[in-house]
Amino acid sequence: MPLQAINDASAHDKMPGIGPHPKNLHAWWARLPLPCARAVLAASLLDDPSSNPNFADASQEEQEQERERLLQLIRATLQKDRQSAARAVELLREEVARSADGDLPSLLDPFCGGGSIPLEGRRLGLGVFAKDLNPVAVLITKASVELLTRFSEHPAVNPKSSAGLTGTGTWSRGAGLAEDVRFYGARIADLLRHDFPAGRSRERSARRFRRLRRPRSRSCQLRCT
């Protein structure tokens, strides 16, 4: 495993202000860095040449060359440049599918937390099953993994975009969902500013918050195939 590259990429992943990132969706303590999850999953799915039947008759030198090729493929996904890393992830995804003869396994994460492992599993093309006792953890994972997969390639549905007032007319990948999140997020922010205007006393705001019913803690789960 390219441990130094994984450590460097993970340290960068945890830094603030590195641009668009799933961690910006909601704060979560002890979030597993995405490069670490990506590398561990790749190492779990790709056979070492010494145990790969296709290299059973290969020499030690040939096995070492294949091993270095796989490690270099993992290193390429750890680049700080997002576009270069995304292209490398696509190549890694193809390599994983080829190593499994197209029969990819499913990934189970019983304590998904911030959703790093399910997210990277989906990026590698795996079917994902995830759960957590904390409903906030499940909501974060649903938003970053399940909903994006479900509504990928779908157009925006908010009235402003559907009327043709915004948008380019093309909704590739999650562009439509992102447009809806921006629209309805702005609407919710406007409602909150109306209900909790600047200058309102803390006591009055606290009384309004106490009226909200706290949900019971229970095991929640999601499925993304």
Per DSSP, the residues of the chain read: --HHHHHHHHHHHTSTTSSS-GGGTS--TTPPPHHHHHHHHHHHHSPPGGG-GGGTT--HHHHHHHHHHHHHHHHHTT-SSHHHHHHHHHHHHHHHHHHTTT-PPEEEESS-TTSHHHHHHHHTT-EEEEEESSHHHHHHHIIIIIHHHHTTTPPP-SHHHHTTSSS-S---TTHHHHHHHHHHHHHHHHHHHHHS-TT--HHHHHHHHHTSPPPPP--EEEEE-
Count: domains in the chain? 1
Ordered per-residue pLDDT tens for the chain, 225 residues: 888 888 998 998 888 878 777 787 788 888 899 999 999 999 998 888 888 888 888 888 888 898 999 999 999 999 888 888 889 999 999 988 888 887 888 999 999 888 999 999 998 888 899 999 999 989 888 888 888 888 888 888 888 876 554 444 567 777 888 888 889 989 988 888 877 776 656 666 556 555 554 555 455 666 665
B/e letters for 211-224, b = 16+ CB within 10 Å, e = fewer, are eeeeeeeeebebeb
Position 118 scores a pLDDT of 92
Position 225 scores a pLDDT of 58
**Beta strands 127-132 and 220-224: pairing type?**
antiparallel
Q: Is the dihedral of CA 150, 83, 95, 78 positive or negative?
A: negative
Position 169 scores a pLDDT of 55
Position 53 scores a pLDDT of 83
Domain coverage including residue 8: 3-224
Give the whole-angstrom CA distance, residue 99 versus residue 27. Answer: 36
Position 202 scores a pLDDT of 60
Position 224 scores a pLDDT of 62
